[in-house]
Amino acid sequence: MASSVPASTLDVRRATSVSDAEIEALADVLIDCVDGGASVSFMLPMTRDKALAFWRSVADGVARGERVLLLAEDAQGIVGTVQVILAQPENQPHRADVAKMLVHRRARRQGAGAALMRAAEREALAEGKTLLVLDTADDTAARLYARLGWQAAGTIPRYALLPAGGECATTYFYRSLT
């Protein structure tokens, strides 16, 4: 197993375009998270083809300016990611959704999640967004969001399925950036 890398060696950057190599690395992160039980819209078995197709779609959204893609990298490559979905209905120009905050298991508890979320907030504000919304089925992530100042809006029981099956609740959070 690879050793963990301290957050001080972590770089978070915005991807203005997404290369084939980055799509491959992002697929590795997504597969690791789903294999580890993360309820992030995918069921087991999590195939490489499914992961690659997802990230190609995200790359298309980045190219169209519909979303911001942030990448967390250490000396070994991409270890985490988060998206800010800018494209919203016309009556919600001030709002964005935060989605798919993923951190590879080898890099967890090293500050990557917090660094990604802080960067997401900065990028959203730079894009003119003043209200962010997200949902999570993960209690660990919920604690992180609360520590970062996000407000829980409510929990919906039986909202989704875990990757191996079985229902799970999801909690919605919001954060005002003004």
Non-local (6+) Cβ contacts of 70 within 8 A are 12, 13, 14, 15, 81, 82, 83, 84, 116, 119, 120, 123
* pLDDT category of residue 8 using cuts at 50, 70 and 90: low
Express each pLDDT in 77-100 by its tens digit: 999 999 999 999 999 999 999 999
The tokens describing 151, both together, are 């407000």
Kindly list the structural domains of the chain, giving each domain's residue range(s) and its CATH number in brackets, ordered by start: 7-128 (3.40.630.30)
Express each pLDDT in 22-39 by its tens digit: 999 999 999 999 999 999
Predicted structure pTM score: 0.94
Q: How many residues does the chain have?
A: 178
10 Å Cβ neighbour count for 54?
A: 19
